[in-house]
Homo-oligomer: A and B are copies of this chain.
Amino acid sequence: MAVSMVQALNAALRDAMRADDSVVVFGEDVGALGGVFRVTDGLTADFGEERCFDTPLAESGIVGFATGMAMRGFRPVVEMQFDAFAYPAFEQVASHVAKMRNRTRGSVTVPIVIRIPYGGGIGGVEHHSDSSESHYAHIPGLKVATPATVDDAYSLLREAIDDPDPVVFMEPKGLYWSKAEVALPARTAPFGHALSRREGSDVTLVAYGPTVPVALEAAEAAAENGKEVEVIDLRTLVPYDEAAVTKSVSTTGRCVVISEATGFAGIAGEIAAQVQRACFYSLAAPVHRVTGFDIPYPPPMHEQHYLPGVDRVLDAIEQLEWD
């Protein structure tokens, strides 16, 4: 059956709630409305107000309240309505959620999942299309997962909820309505395992979340020019599967990292830095990055020019010293 990413996420929440009484879902508009993207659709109806409920409109409060509940044995899955609206919770995330286990030598753990729809491409007005994954990846103590496929949406979210550590679960909102034939419950690879979405021996594209389909499309186009492109989907930014990326680039000798977020000081730089070090002797060309520009996410009528698209990826591949 064709399942959308939203449906897969919804199913993951349902199945997790069914499997474990301590899983509770809350946030803004997650109850009767089912979330502005309908990811929590029907949960209140099916599990009751106690298991899925709306909160006052205050993201720091939501994450702080979740922290307190987690201290007393719950597994809160909270929704931040859009990426930029998670910023008010930044202190709670950085100073408490990420650090609680460490501060208390493992005595207090807060296995919270913070779901954040991120990225652009949906024609949203300002503050609705940010990509903040690099911020979270830069904070030790958090795991950061981001699905690119429907089955991973299910599998990674289930794993995130079961994980003993807090997980920032970044949902690529541009892919919410993407569909695939998937039989749920689907279990794919665990956290920390990148997956190759396409084999290829000439160049490695490293992508995650919203840029995986872009990479695949670019790979198809490059194939027409006789270049065999491997596409690696990271799936989790933390833990980062350095081994998989190194293995691929050691073979291909070329690498392009693709990320929708602002490039400067972002996760794509981390990956490039690791690749050049691990694959120094295999690289035929420097690692390139294709990322969002170093500008605020633009208004809807400009976003096509902001997003790292197939053409920019193909341009980057072209520049990888082929002669």
Chain A residues near B (Cβ < 8 Å): 60, 84, 87-88, 90-91, 94-95, 98-99, 102-103, 126-127, 134-135, 137-141, 237-238, 240, 261-262, 264-270, 272-274, 276-278, 280, 283, 285-289, 293-296
Contact = CB atoms under 8 A, between A and B. Distances in A.
Contact of A141 (B261, B270, B296): B296
A287 B277 contact: yes
Given A137-B265, A140-B262, A140-B295, 12 more contacts: A84-B91, A87-B91, A95-B127, A134-B138, A135-B138, A137-B264, A138-B262, A140-B293, A141-B296, A269-B274, A273-B276, A276-B287
A302 to B, nearest CB: 11
9 contacts: A87-B90, A99-B126, A135-B135, A137-B264, A237-B265, A238-B264, A264-B270, A273-B276, A280-B286
A268 B264 contact: no
Contacts of A240: 264
Contacts of A98: 296
A264 B264 CA distance: 14
Contacts of A270: 264-266, 269, 273
Contacts of A283: 280
Which of A60, A140, A240 counts the most chain B CB atoms within 10 A? A140
B99 A94 contact: no
A273 B268 contact: yes
A293 to B, nearest CB: 8
Nearest to A98: B296
Contacts of A139: 262
A140 B294 contact: yes
Contacts of A135: 135, 138
Given A95-B87, A264-B138, A269-B270, A288 B295 contact: no
Contacts of A262: 138-140
Nearest to A285: B280
A138 B265 contact: yes
Nearest to A90: B90
Given A276-B276, A296-B98, A265 B264 contact: no
Contacts of A84: 91, 94-95
A89 to B, nearest CB: 9
A266 B87 contact: no
A115 to B, nearest CB: 18
Nearest to A321: B280
A256 to B, nearest CB: 11
A264 B143 CA distance: 12
A226 to B, nearest CB: 24
Given A88-B91, A99-B296, A140-B262, A269 B273 contact: yes
A126 B285 CA distance: 43
A266 B87 CA distance: 18
Minimum-distance CB pairs A-B, first 5: A272-B273, A87-B91, A90-B90, A276-B276, A269-B270
A221 to B, nearest CB: 23
Nearest to A276: B276
A280 B272 CA distance: 13
